[in-house]
Structure 1
Amino acid sequence: MMKAIRVTEFGEHDVMKVETNLTVPKPSGNQVLIKVSAAGVNPVDILIRSGNFFKLPVLPYTPGLDVSGVVEEVGSKVTKFKKGDRVFTLSTDTGGYGEYTLANSSLTGKLDDNLTFDQGAAIGVPYFTAYRSIVQHGKAQKGETILVHGASGGVGLACVQMAKARGLRVIGTAGTQAGLNVVSSVGADVVVNHRGDNYTQSIIEACDGSGPNLIIEMLANVNLEKDIKMAAPRARIVIVGCQGSGEINPVVMTKELTVQGIALFGVPAEDLEDMHAGIREGMSAGWLQPHIGHAYCLEDAPQAHNDIINTKGATGKIIIKM
């Protein structure tokens, strides 16, 4: 038997309840059963739980996409993993906020021995998002300047590390001094408080007046217009997060900018394998070092959901420890 968070209705964070004596699921086909050590908390978890996501699970369900832990059992078609392997996931089939979960083997990776299980829970969504944004869609080139707008959260810090490893000059923004300190500590060349007066001018000056070549945007409904004005000619703006509508400024045409959104749902198989290879390289090279902002116990999952939305400024990935 196992315990896990269960959601029986969509709503506020208090709809999440711990249930015990749940049946441990059995893997079949391409699935692996993982004994979970820690689970990542992502903004998309909040959108799903509140009923505000484009694709909602059947109730009741267990939240959580990226976990880390040890393989307990494998399905009949699994060849890449065996019992006892240390792993992390990009997504799960039965939810990550619990003692056990099922995951598709194609969305599971081996966790490097040099990383802790806490760090493993912060790999999936942040680093795969960073790779799809910077490499696959952003087409980042060595020597370019990248702006990571909202760099102190899990995805932002992953973007900073990945961009530095690929030879880019990195400007990262955050809204608190603690956030700026974290962004600087993982390698950003320039840090800017995006709550400061005329902060966009500071970014332009840091680019010698030309603007960033690539912008990773976490809150497009607030920042996209600023990004368009700051961007260098023929720059790429990749939208990772957006919580409302916005407008496209005609400057997009005069500068010949590319504005593109990304998602991890429905990624083609060849792109997914390329992402896995990039993450494996990062672990092997040692630059992939997830930064944990705060860890909660399973019973405090509602508080984790509240804090990820209402905090004044992120300082790394939020996780839940089993």
Structure 2
Amino acid sequence: MELDLPEILPQQILIQVKAASVNFPDLLMTQGKYQHKPDLPFVLGMEGAGIVKAIGSEVTKFKEGDEVTFGSWGNGAFSDYVIVPENGPQLKSKNLNFEEAASFQTAYMTAYVSLVRRGELKPKESLLVHGATGGVGMAAVQLGQKMGANVIATGTSENKL
């Protein structure tokens, strides 16, 4: 499906998508089971990575050509281009390629909010991660280790543990 790009607003950024990841909510959206039900037609893709192609007149954090990672609510990352607010994207680490960067936000932010904001995990505490071989589980293990927790991991794939 071809869609015309809308004009970007003063605090928005136009990103050319180079890679996008598939997340469980994408599957739920195809079945109409996700808590956010976008109007039809919509494009799937909750997160991605790409290159800033244009910025709104009030954008100060980014410039054209910046490589970024982004979450994309209601403006699917499975598109060639997305428009997001300035406060959404982050600069892509030079250590990550676009494919790696595209799969960062959902898993790591879910794990981060669970461990830091909700769980208030402290160094030397024990952290049990069930499902440590999935995306969010692997992120929780890595973040827990970085935070100095004693991490215990379970999962179905022995080679990933």
Q: Does TM, normalized by the shorter one, top 0.5?
A: yes
TM, length-normalised to structure 1: 0.48
- The higher relative CO (CA closer than 8 Å, separation ≥ 6) is in 2
Measure, in 1, the Cα distance between the counterparts of 2:72 and 2:38. Answer: 13
Is the contact between residue 42 and residue 74 of structure 2 (CA under 8 Å) also seen in structure 1? no
The residue matched to 1:68 in structure 2 has which SS? Answer: strand
Is the contact between residue 128 and residue 153 of structure 2 (CA under 8 Å) also seen in structure 1? yes
Shift of 1:90: 2.5
TM, length-normalised to structure 2: 0.93
- The C-alpha deviation readout for 1:160-200, integer Å capped at 9, x for no partner, is 1110001111122222xxx3322x3xxxxxxxxxxxxxxxx
Measure, in 2, the Cα distance between the counterparts of 1:53 and 1:127. Answer: 20
Shift of 1:93: 4.5
Aligned-pair RMSD on alpha carbons?
A: 1.4
The residue matched to 1:70 in structure 2 has which SS? Answer: strand
1:180 partnered with 2:161:
no
Measure, in 2, the Cα distance between the counterparts of 1:97 and 1:26. Answer: 19
* 1:148-187 correspondence to structure 2 within 5 Å: 148-175=129-156, 179-182=157-160, 184=161
Which one of the candidate residues 54, 63, 77 is aligned to 1:82? 63
- Please say which structure displays the higher CA radius of gyration: 1
Name the aligned partner's letter for residue 24 of structure 1. L
Unaligned runs of 5+ in 1: 1-18, 185-322
Identity of aligned residues (%): 38
Is the contact between residue 111 and residue 120 of structure 1 (CA under 8 Å) also seen in structure 2? yes
Which one of the candidate residues 81, 100, 103 is aligned to 2:84? 103
* TM superposition outliers: structure 1 runs of 4+ over 3 Å: none
Shift of 1:81: 0.7
Shift of 1:92: 4.0
The residue matched to 1:41 in structure 2 has which SS? Answer: coil
Measure, in 2, the Cα distance between the counterparts of 1:130 and 1:37. Answer: 25
Q: Which residue of 1 aligns with 2:110?
A: 129
Unaligned runs of 5+ in 2: none
Name the aligned partner's letter for residue 165 of structure 1. K
Measure, in 2, the Cα distance between the counterparts of 1:121 and 1:61. Answer: 20
Is the contact between residue 126 and residue 150 of structure 2 (CA under 8 Å) also seen in structure 1? yes
Q: Which residue of 1 aligns with 2:16?
A: 35
Name the aligned partner's letter for residue 16 of structure 2. K
Is the contact between residue 69 and residue 88 of structure 1 (CA under 8 Å) also seen in structure 2? yes
Shift of 1:139: 0.5
* 1:131-146 correspondence to structure 2 within 5 Å: 131-146=112-127
Which one of the candidate residues 47, 54, 67 is aligned to 2:35? 54
Measure, in 1, the Cα distance between the counterparts of 2:134 and 2:93. Answer: 22
Shift of 1:130: 1.2
Measure, in 1, the Cα distance between the counterparts of 2:100 and 2:146. Answer: 18
Name the aligned partner's letter for residue 137 of structure 1. R
The residue matched to 1:114 in structure 2 has which SS? Answer: coil
Measure, in 2, the Cα distance between the counterparts of 1:126 and 1:105. Answer: 21
Shift of 1:120: 0.6
* 1:190-209 correspondence to structure 2 within 5 Å: none
| Pair 1:78–1:92, CA change in 2 (3 A) | farther
Is the contact between residue 18 and residue 98 of structure 2 (CA under 8 Å) also seen in structure 1? yes
Q: Which residue of 2 aligns with 1:72?
A: 53
Shift of 1:55: 2.2
Measure, in 2, the Cα distance between the counterparts of 1:106 and 1:136. Answer: 20
Shift of 1:91: 2.7
